[in-house]
């Protein structure tokens, strides 16, 4: 019975491995992504247009006034910044377990985008904090851990550029990404674990009025789809560049 169970588990694992590798095949990815890109692009444009339209028709907040509009840029940027790093962590895990180069390509393609959204979140957060807190920056737990996220993105990219051998660079960058994953729950729960100036979560708790909630959700969807579109484009470009480099090396 034990041998039968072990054989069944081995077969299930092998089937799962084949499924992952089938969808991680670069040729398969190029075909699927070419079909998805138009739909994702349209969805992104619709969501962002709707979100901006709703955002510019919200009434001023009774405490924040018109500065509440920064929320519709800042919050989605922060969400995507953390989500992008989570995507890098997952791709890095796949890379280390299955040694598939497409996972490395996808992770590397996501890093500059994640850094861009993180920087946008930091800048808009500072602009929002100035009228609310009286200063552009405070070293509280949420802001400090989010700044650390930017450094993780920059460090991840630096590892890729510092090591000439791509396979070694991929392994080192994947390990760094997995180590840095501990920062994600710190960002999320920092406002609960420590006393901070940064406000706590208000969407899931129902503390935000519907007039602000709907444009915020639309912008969050738009930002997420924008990241997905740019991520796919960058991954496709890297695949083409890698094929070109391999051809050039073959000719040489």
Distance, CA of 14 to CA of 37 (rounded, Å): 31
Q: Do 235 and 91 meet the contact criterion of CB atoms below 8 Å apart?
A: no
Distance, CA of 234 to CA of 236 (rounded, Å): 5
Could you tell me the residue ranges of all domains in the chain? 70-209
| pLDDT tens, residue order, the chain (252 aa) | 445 554 444 444 444 455 555 556 788 889 999 999 999 999 999 999 999 999 988 888 777 777 888 899 999 999 999 999 999 999 999 999 888 878 999 999 999 999 999 999 999 988 887 887 778 888 888 888 999 999 999 999 999 999 988 889 999 999 999 999 999 999 888 777 766 666 666 666 656 888 889 999 999 999 999 999 999 999 999 888 877 766 666 665
What's residue 1's pLDDT?
47
DSSP 61-101: BTTTBGGGGGHHHHHHHHHHHHHHHHHHHHHHHHHHHH--H
Q: Is the pTM of this model over 0.75?
A: yes
Residues 6+ apart with CB under 8 A from 28: 22
């Amino acid at each position: 019975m034990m041998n039968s169970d072990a054989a069944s588990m081995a077969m299930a694992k092998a089937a799962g491995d084949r499924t992952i590798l089938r969808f991680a095949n670069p040729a398969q990815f190029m075909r699927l992504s070419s079909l998805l890109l138009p739909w994702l692009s349209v969805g992104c444009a619709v969501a962002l247009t709707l979100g901006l339209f709703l955002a510019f028709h919200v009434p001023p907040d009774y405490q924040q006034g018109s500065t509440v509009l920064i929320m519709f840029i800042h919050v989605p940027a922060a969400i995507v910044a953390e989500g992008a790093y989570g995507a890098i962590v997952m791709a890095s895990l796949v890379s280390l377990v299955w040694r598939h180069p497409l996972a490395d390509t996808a992770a590397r393609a996501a890093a500059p985008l994640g850094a861009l959204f993180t920087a946008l979140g930091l800048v808009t957060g500072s602009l929002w904090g100035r009228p609310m807190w009286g200063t552009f920056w405070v070293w509280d737990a949420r802001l400090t851990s989010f700044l650390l996220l930017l450094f993780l993105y920059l460090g991840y990219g630096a590892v890729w550029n510092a090591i000439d051998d791509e396979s070694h660079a991929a392994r080192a960058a994947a390990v760094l990404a997995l180590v840095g994953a501990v920062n994600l729950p710190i960002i999320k729960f920092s406002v609960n674990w420590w006393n901070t100036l940064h406000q706590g979560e208000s969407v899931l708790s129902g503390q935000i009025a519907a007039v602000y909630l709907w444009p915020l959700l639309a912008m969050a969807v738009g930002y997420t789809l924008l990241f997905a579109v740019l991520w796919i484009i960058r991954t496709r470009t890297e695949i083409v560049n890698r094929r070109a480099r391999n051809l050039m090396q073959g000719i040489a």
